Amino acid sequence: MQMTVKNLLFVFLFVTSTCLASNFSGYKNPIISGFHPDPSICKAGEDFYLVTSSFEYFPGVPLFHSKDLIHWEQIGHCLTRTSQLPLDKCGVSGGIYAPTIRFYKGIFYLITTNVSRGNFIVHTKDPAGDWSEPVWLQQPGIDPSLYFEDDKCYLTVNPNNTIYVSEINPLTGQQITTNKAIWTGTGGRYPEAPHIYKKDGWYYLMISEGGTEYGHKVTIARSKNIDGPYESNPANPILTHSNVNAQWNPIQGTGHADLIQADDNSWWMVCLGFRPQSGSHHLLGRETFLAPVTWDTNAWPVVNGNGTIYTTMNVPTLPSKPVKEVPYKIDFSEKKLGLEWNYLRNPKEQNYTLTERPGCLRLKPTSVKLDDIDSPTFVGRRQEHFNFTATTSLEMFYAQNGDESGITVLMNNNLHYDLVLRKEPNGEYKILLRYRLGEMTHIAKEINIPKEKVEFQVKGESNYYSFAYSLDGKSYNTIGKMDVRFLSSETAGGFTGIYLGLFSTSESNISKTYTDFDNFTYLPDNKQ
């Protein structure tokens, strides 16, 4: 039978309308790139809110908002005061572990662990505003979570490789019932990240196992009673990339998940994972990914059909609600730094100003070095792409012998690459390309320059960081390159990712030196 023009038009309109109705546009993973691990999500009305771990960085617990689960905008941090987040002398990958965010009867609750002190809860009615002072809990362990039902609040936590549940008062921290052990998982090491959900009369307990490495996985159990006994899903794990079908997947180490239901009744999972580069090394930290979930009545949840996720997800989505992007070019003209910037531990705020010279970020050095377990004059933003170019222009004033300022590619205090402007004893200035790799510190190259003002550039790619400088702001001279593998999580250990940081140090705490940075640009290759 021949198709008429009218019939062809009908078919075209039908297919088009069907695709539009289901929003079969797909999306790209990760939904939040760079060091944003341990995601937790909640819903308030039409709005979704998501938090991630922050470890030794301040402010703590970045908070994101979305209308469609795909496009996320950072709207604040949950822990913005030293009284909420004491990080003095906090060790590498110490500080804040695995927050959980929940919304119940008009109040947002955040529960998390400061590994130096224990578990605590903060709350607010305005998530983008100030959060309360911490309420500290008696229960030990990490990865605490909250479940609300009938004006009762239940805490799950995982000391001693076992998941426990108890009833608490989330506003006072009072423990109302004793801790009860409810599940140890399926036998994988480090059963953690417990979350409880209720569906079709069943309490579902979802956890992660296997450690936050290549063998990570998500498992689930259920019970008719919140305190058990819980039966394990025969099809566990419901999410893992440790099997053959994901052996060459560019996403690895998937786990530490949370579930959310949208207004159209669709279910979704957020989880962490990492993207290896230069072989089996990853540097960006663990990132936040999204997957659709099928969850039929009285059935077990199924993640993306086969428990595997991809960088390109060709699935129906919620109606798209794009958000404004974080600016890639910063001229420091605002009165405060953007939300993408962080300090190492609790900063000495007097050493960072944006108002003394309009259009410049002024850093005042101390004798605390990047190598120290302390808070140096450092402010940085996450590396979020394999391939990028970062540039900054800096000028030192009243520099003393040994004073340094520059840009660092930093995994932690033991592993970082630094491009440095240094004042020499003879009054001259030098550019240094230096690395710190564990016990080894070495100056790879040094160049004398005639002035105290310079522009630095760092380029990232899959295998190397390249470093260059410019004295005229136009032409760049390459000074060297460094292998990315030596800064990777596989080399460094720990749970964080790479930061690109601006810093200033001095041999003295009474130096009158300061350095003005009058711009910072971070451009992924696809934006250049």
In angstroms, the CA 403 to CA 369 distance is 11
The catalytic residue among 38, 403, 452, 516 is 38
| Full strand arrangement of the beta sheet holding 429-437 | 57-58, 341-344, 377-382, 499-505, 404-412, 415-423, 429-437, 440-449
Cα of 340 vs its chain's centroid, Å: 10
CA atoms of 261 and 24, how far apart (whole Å): 18
H helices of 401-464, where? Answer: none
Q: Catalytic: 46?
A: no
Q: How far apart are CA 231 and CA 238, in angstroms?
A: 14
Contacts of 135 (CB under 8 A, 6+ apart): 120, 121, 122, 170, 171, 172, 173
Taking the CA atoms of 302, 304, 306 and 309 in sequence, report the sign of the dihedral they define. negative
Active-site residue identified among 68, 192, 258, 455: 192
Which residues make Cβ contacts (< 8 Å) with residue 520, sequence separation at least 6? 330, 332, 361, 390, 391, 392, 502
**Residue in the block written with tokens 């033991």:** 414
Cα separation, 185 vs 467, in Å, equals 47
Q: What are the structure tokens assigned to 3, written together?
A: 């198709």
CB 251 within 8 A of CB 243: no
Q: Is 439 a catalytic residue?
A: no
Closest CA to 275 of 287, 258, 263: 287
Query: Which residues are the active-site residues?
Result: 38, 192
